[in-house]
Amino acid sequence: MTNTYIISDTHFKHANIIKYQNRPFDNVDEMDNIMFDNWNSVINYNDIVYFLGDLCMGNPSHWLENLNGTKVMIRGNHDKQLKNAHKYKIVEWNKEKLLLVHNPEFLPFNWNGWILHGHVHTNNLLKYPLINSEFKTINCSVEMLDYKPIELNALLNKRKL
């Protein structure tokens, strides 16, 4: 059985993100190892993962080859070396259209449905909490998801709580 997951902003190999986002890791190796293990403990080889940008600093090939699942990549501002990434993607999920994009401030066109995004981390929790029903945004940054991918249905069901 194939499941579908979503996550954003892992920033593998980015030591400064630990202090910028107050991540609970002592160093970049600990962060990378925990997030890598979290990913591969949740994601099976045949699962689909929508990744909403900012995978790593430097060459992404190690991560793309060793993280489980089929990865559908949305380009983030730190993904210059990422080939075949989308600027955005519209996904139909349970008869609902969702816009997947990295930065919610830079929408590619006018959109009135739900937006799943990354980029903002925990920098503006008033405007970008995990779920903002008023603006129809879902913040998929790793800090919001306990540093591991979340199943898309489980995330979307949080809108109803």
Single pTM value for the model: 0.96
Assign 83 a pLDDT band (cuts: 50, 70, 90): confident
* Residues whose CB is less than 8 angstroms from the CB of residue 37 and which lie 6 or more positions away in sequence, other chains included: none
Q: Which of 45, 89, 84, 93 is nearest to 67 (CA)?
A: 45
Domain of 31, in residue numbers: 4-160
Does residue 99 surpass a pLDDT of 70? yes
The CATH number of whichever domain residue 135 belongs to comes to 3.60.21.10
Position of tokens 């990422």? 82
- Indicate the pLDDT class of residue 161, thresholds 50, 70 and 90: low
Give pLDDT tens digits for 15-65: 999 999 999 999 999 999 999 999 999 999 999 999 999 999 999 999 999
In tens, the pLDDT along 102-137 reads 999 999 889 999 999 999 999 999 999 999 999 999
**CA–CA gap between residue 155 and residue 130 (Å, rounded):** 9
Alpha-carbon distances of 22 from 13, 31, 120, 143, rounded to whole Å:
16, 12, 14, 9
Query: Based on the structure, what is the number of domains in the chain?
Result: 1
Query: What is the DSSP track for 72-91?
Result: EEBP-TT-TT-TT-BSEEEE
Structure tokens at 9: 């902003």
